[in-house]
């Protein structure tokens, strides 16, 4: 299905297609987390899977599934318990909502990188600093740095897919 314009609101996608796309993206998120878990958890995180948050700019209905993806990956692979699972869910929703807002207000696609970098980078250390006994500023700095690659990857993903889906 080809949609005209910079972004689309995808109001013509059926509920079954939305559910299918949501399931596929969630599975992709968890698979990417599985294969990159060696450097996606702990104090220094490069979570390539968080680049998929950018898909909320194209498919706003992915906001909650992105939070659920983070919850599931933290449950299956994280090992830091309930605060990390619930926190990851909330960060996924906040980050995806911010990305959708960038699209909604027709701001530059390059701004999509900012929520991907700063959402996890500044919110996740709130509970991780307590769980890992690492000062917030050190942890936030390391996570923000680690999120630069997923932030740029997310922008490139949107640029490649926006006119193809």
Domain extent listing, the chain: 15-161
pLDDT tens, residue by residue, 81-100: 999 999 999 999 999 999 99
Residue 7's pLDDT is 47
On the question of pLDDT at 158 being above 50, the answer is yes
Q: Which pLDDT score is estimated for 42?
A: 63
Mean residue pLDDT of the chain comes to 92
First to last CA, the chain: 6
- CATH number for the segment(s) 15-161: 1.10.1760
Q: Looking at residue 2, what is its pLDDT?
A: 42
Of 26, 84, 76, residue with least CA distance to 55: 26
Task: Measure Cα distances from 32 to 37, 48, 125 in Å.
Answer: 8, 7, 22
More confident residue, 162 or 59: 59
Instruction: Identify whether the C-beta of residue 53 lies closer than 8 Å to the C-beta of residue 32.
Output: no
Read off the pLDDT of each residue in 54-73 and give the average, rounded to a whole number.
98
């Amino acid at each position: 299905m080809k949609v005209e314009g910079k972004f689309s609101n995808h109001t013509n996608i059926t509920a079954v297609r939305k559910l299918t796309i949501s399931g596929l993206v969630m599975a992709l998120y968890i698979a990417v987390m599985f294969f990159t878990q060696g450097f996606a958890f702990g104090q220094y995180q490069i979570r390539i899977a968080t680049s998929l948050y950018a898909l909320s700019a194209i498919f706003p209905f992915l906001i909650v599934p992105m939070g659920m993806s983070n919850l599931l990956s933290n449950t299956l692979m994280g090992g830091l318990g309930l605060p990390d699972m619930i926190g990851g869910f909330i960060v996924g929703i906040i980050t995806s909502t911010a990305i959708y807002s960038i699209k909604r207000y027709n701001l530059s696609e390059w701004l999509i990188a900012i929520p991907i970098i700063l959402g996890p980078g500044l919110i996740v250390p709130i509970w991780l600093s307590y769980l890992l006994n690492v000062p917030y500023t050190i942890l936030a700095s390391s996570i923000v740095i680690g999120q630069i690659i997923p932030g740029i990857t997310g922008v490139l993903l949107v640029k490649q897919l926006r006119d193809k889906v």
